[in-house]
Chains A and B, each alone.
Chain A
Amino acid sequence: MLLFMLPFLSNAQTRQMTTGEVAAFQQSLKRSAQIKTLSADFVQYKHMSFVKQPITSSGKIYLKQPDRLSWSYTAPFQYKMVFRDHKIFIDDQGKKKTMDIGKSKQFEKISRLVSSSMRGSVYDEKEFSVSYFKKGEVSVLKLLPKSNDTKKYIKEIVLVFSSNDTQVEEVTLVEPSNDYTRFILKNRKVNAQINDSVFNL
């Protein structure tokens, strides 16, 4: 955890939010919770203690409330997943498959956690202990799961919010081993029209 938190802790400008700042930030989160659609490009960095360079991949994400998610990798490989109607549709470089979510609950749980983090709706205080930080103008949330089931997979989630529009621009999932995956979101579009064909495979 220390290793992961180093970028935050070592920076003198990172500090805990004041009570007033937390209240103002929570207000902005309520506005974020009204997200109906989200599209963004993402870059994913998987950091492991024994590898110098992170494993990097990038792609595009589309979210549409209440339960549609399209997650596609475009580099270094082509691979698309669509979560819809309690199923996972996969297009692996032209090879198409369908899986029942029931067969892969843990996979679905992780994907939901990632996508809801990006949407900014994961910090339910019943499920997570939430700490609020400021790093310059940027707001940082640190979430520690409360349930033992979630703790098996995730040690900590860190969300970094854009100072411009208070939307999530970075998500880090720290595993119990302290290896972590960082998602950087770019070109975010909130509540723009998303064609349903994006969720068809």
Chain B
Amino acid sequence: MIRFLIYSSFVFLSLGSCRSYQYPNAVGIRESHQQELNNYYVDSTHTYVYRSQIQAFGKDVHGNLVIRTIAPDVHRVALLSDFGQTLFDVSIFPDRYVLHAAMADLNKKMLVKEVVRIFRTLTERRYAQQALIFMDKQHYPVYTVDDRFYSMEERHLARIAVAQSGRERFVISFVDVQGKLPKEVAIEHRKYPFVMQFTLDKKQSVL
């Protein structure tokens, strides 16, 4: 019991950067050897094309997601609707972004900022030196860096949870990872009614 309380206190203090967010079943944080996280989109010779389905605020939009890796830490990301209209087109750097185009109805500062945050999390390679400790034995490790929690499964990244103000802000799930690339990506926003699903279009991607 004492051990549990110590772990709980440690979690509370250690996770101070994301306030009181408590990762489910985690009781503490341990130091880990440096772990590379999310290296799906680091190859600058590649362009990734996904078929996209977006449900946002009661609207459905189908189209494509295009990710071009400019450099391992710089990505150009575009969301297109059917009929080819560009919804967003943005270059994402580690500390800033450049908006190239946004459809008039969607060009709101807060919305663009949140979309950038989501796609930065999706594409950004990070390194962690801390992992969570769980009460029960956990098959797969969960690494944490800043406000993000990276769940690994069978040596590949399966899920990223981003926390803010004590809650999960959004979650990115990688499904059917083949050849170091997820064939499917699902993004669910926890604060807003906003769900995105992407299915890799290998033929149109440059891999």
What is A's interface to B at a CB cutoff of 8 Å? 44, 46, 48, 50-53, 55-56, 73, 76-77, 79, 81, 90, 92, 97, 99, 103-104, 106-107, 110-111, 114, 152-153, 173, 175-177, 179, 181
Contact = CB atoms under 8 A, between A and B. Distances in A.
Contacts of B201: 76-77
Contacts of B53: 92
Task: Please report whether the interface of chain A is mostly helix, strand, loop or mixed according to DSSP.
Answer: mixed
A33 B66 CA distance: 38
B100 A55 contact: no
Given A110-B85, A152-B104, A56 B204 contact: yes
Contacts of B78: 48, 50
A103 B105 CA distance: 13
Given A53-B47, A79-B82, A177-B86, 6 more contacts: A44-B84, A79-B62, A90-B60, A103-B59, A104-B59, A181-B84
A197 to B, nearest CB: 22
18 contacts: A48-B78, A50-B68, A52-B206, A56-B204, A73-B82, A76-B51, A79-B62, A97-B60, A106-B103, A106-B105, A107-B81, A110-B83, A111-B83, A173-B84, A176-B101, A179-B101, A181-B84, A181-B85
A21 to B, nearest CB: 31
A69 B81 CA distance: 18
Interface residues of B, number: 31
A177 B83 contact: no
A52 B204 CA distance: 11
Contacts of A77: 51, 201
A34 to B, nearest CB: 26
A92 B68 contact: no
A55 B83 contact: no
B59 A53 contact: no
Contacts of B66: 48, 51, 55
Interface of B: 47, 49, 51, 53, 58-62, 64, 66, 68, 76, 78, 80-86, 89, 100-101, 103-105, 201, 203-204, 206
Given A53-B206, A55-B66, A175 B101 contact: yes
A110 B85 CA distance: 8
Contacts of A104: 59
A174 B3 CA distance: 64
A181 B104 contact: no
B89 A177 contact: yes
5 nearest interchain CB pairs? A181-B84, A152-B104, A177-B101, A46-B84, A50-B76
Contacts of B76: 50
Given A48-B78, A50-B76, A90-B60, A76 B83 contact: no
Contacts of A51: 47, 66, 68
A153 B66 CA distance: 20
Contacts of B101: 175-177, 179
Contacts of B81: 107, 110
Contacts of B80: 46, 55
A116 to B, nearest CB: 13
Contacts of A97: 60
A56 B64 CA distance: 11
A177 B204 contact: no
Given A44-B84, A79-B82, A103-B58, A55 B49 contact: yes
A168 B47 CA distance: 33
Nearest to B81: A107
